[in-house]
Chain A
Amino acid sequence: MTTCLPVATKPVRRPGVTTVLRHAGIVAITAYCLAPFYWMTVSAFRRPTDQFSLSVLPHQWSVANFMAVFKPDVGFQRALFNSLMVAGSTTALTLLLGTLCAYALARLNFRFKNLAAAAIIATSMFPGISLVVPLLRIFTDIGWINTYQAMIVPSLSFALPLTVWNLTAFFRQLPAELEEAAMIDGCTRGQAFRKVILPLAAPGVFTTAILVFITAWNEFIIALSMVNKKDMQTATVAVSRFTGAHGFDQPYGTQMAAGVLVTVPLVLAVLIFQRRIVAGLTAGGVK
């Protein structure tokens, strides 16, 4: 104990300069991360007439930009709905397939298991653009252009590896004795999985669901290439396509308002599930 004392007292010895520096660092990081986002939000609330004003707060708060986003001819509601459909079904499908697959990889022994795992990882590294060209051909042939499944199915290809990777790590942490005990008590392996493992894995599955949903919601290149009809666009594509009423001017106010609308659900999710998201993200990276 006594040998520890000098070390333990060290931070107390000179709290002045270092604490101030640390606090300054914290403030700097927060500002760095939030300032652009803040600027977007503030710009969205300006009146269109003083859009280029540089004041820190709008002179006069206005929701004109948001009204412009929701004008019927913009069809932004539809885009938000599309995004929700695509991201939602992607999440549901990946969880369904991914949970089973991750469980199999974590627990069962079968031939080519390592190969299967490697293939899954390799798929996640595939550049999105390499998928676009062949998929455009295939989807044109089978008439899938401008459909939801044309966006959902390719999204699975990057969402599945993420899911499987995260969940495999999670299932490995659960002790195998749990299922053994359940199987001794007369469960089949399927029942053991359903009745014992799934309830225990719920937090991990939930974390993965958030991560997959956010990635699917943010997807851009596939949604941009597979769809050319306006009422099938997802929100990210719709935002980037906003054009001004008068030819080439950039409707920044409207764009910022739309950006805020697309981002707010994500930021809320981040704030609420912060701890889980951090755990999920770092689990993939540290291991």
Chain B
Amino acid sequence: MRESLYRQAEGIDANGFVIQDERFVGLDNYRDVFTGQQADLFWNAFDNTTFFTFTTVAIEIILGLAMALVMHRAMRGRALVRAAILVPWAIPTAVSALLWRWIFDADGVANALLGRQILWTADGPAAKAAVIISDTWKTAPFIGLLVLAGLQLIPKELYEAAHVDGAGPWRQFRAITLPMIRPVLVVAVLFRMLDVLRMFDLPYVLIGNQKHSVETLSMLAFNEAGNLRYGPAAAFSTLLFCYVVLVAFVFVKLLGAEVIGQAATRRVRHRRRSAARRSRKTATT
């Protein structure tokens, strides 16, 4: 525990440290990000990150929910499916990115099946689609698993009562299933959003570094750090952190903190605090 506390303190201190240690530039790094020469890069990465977050999470939730519903009713073959569903989760992201790179190759199996010639891994909209498809493949089953666990907690009597009252399957789904698994869904969406917001290895390996159409904020910060421009890199990653905090905060506010329970509200409260601390720190430097 002490270890993890230290680690975080280390990160925050060092972030401030990095900016102080170089020639003192105050908030110039941040001003550059928003209006200077790097603004284009930043806003592009920002747009990509946001776009990926919303599309992948939406698709994953729908797919995962459908999977969970199918698995929940299945009697036979459940163990098999459960094992199968863990495979995408267990594959390292870097390997899954390679695997999809192979599938999406110009002469690969995806084009052969579609009968088209799409340059998936070149820069462009197709590359975005490739990232979304492979990310969905990797994580939708995981969401299915979480939702399935939620489904199994719903007492059977509720459905029996609804059936007696004459509710059809669709009505039962809307009136019983959805409200009952809402807490699980909210947690799944929150976790996935935070994950996609910091996505790095999938586009990095699948499409490549410094590709305009799939560059995420993490990748941008990584590039800057790799070019020994620590100042801008720290600025990008601090902004990413703030963005993550903001999204989590808004999300919890909108969908009601009470369903996630104490832990999450505590988490958000803490993060709000640390964000405030951070912004104070950057303001003073």
> Which residues of A come within 8 Å of B, CB atoms?
3-4, 7, 10, 22-23, 25-26, 28-30, 32-34, 36-37, 39-40, 43, 52, 54, 97, 100-101, 104-105, 114-123, 125-138, 153-154, 156-157, 160-161, 164, 214, 217-218, 220-221, 224-225, 236-237, 239-240, 250, 252, 255-256, 259, 262-263, 266-267, 269-271, 274, 277-278, 281-282, 285-287
Contacts and interface: CB of A to CB of B under 8 A. Distances in A.
A31 to B, nearest CB: 9
Given A33-B84, A218-B92, A252-B102, A127 B145 contact: no
B218 A128 contact: yes
A119 B10 CA distance: 13
Contact of A263 (B74, B90, B240, B244): B90
Contacts of B83: 270-271, 274
A26 B18 contact: no
Contacts of A101: 1
A186 to B, nearest CB: 29
Interface stretch (B51-59, B105-113, B123-131): B105-113
B222 to A, nearest CB: 6
A127 B237 contact: yes
B205 A240 contact: yes
Interface in B67-101: 67, 70-71, 73-74, 77, 79-101
Nearest to A119: B5
Contact of A240 (B80, B89, B98, B105): B98
Interface residues of B, number: 98
A243 to B, nearest CB: 12
B271 interface: yes
A224 B82 CA distance: 32
Nearest to B233: A133
B184 interface: yes
Contact of B263 (A34, A115, A121): A121
Nearest to B202: A220
A175 B231 CA distance: 51
Contacts of A117: 263, 266
Contact of B270 (A33, A39, A115): A115
Nearest to A269: B90
Contact of A132 (B74, B237, B274): B237
Interface in B232-249: 233-234, 236-238, 240-241, 244, 248
A214 to B, nearest CB: 6
B34 interface: no
Interface in B145-164: 145-146, 149-150, 153, 160, 163-164
A220 B270 CA distance: 27
B100 to A, nearest CB: 7
B15 A130 contact: yes
Interface stretch (B36-44, B170-178, B192-200, B250-258): B192-200
Given A121-B266, A125-B271, A137-B17, A259 B99 contact: yes
26 contacts: A22-B70, A29-B71, A36-B96, A43-B102, A117-B266, A118-B266, A118-B269, A119-B5, A123-B4, A123-B8, A133-B234, A134-B18, A137-B14, A153-B7, A156-B3, A160-B3, A220-B93, A221-B200, A225-B225, A237-B94, A259-B99, A263-B92, A270-B90, A278-B145, A285-B184, A285-B188
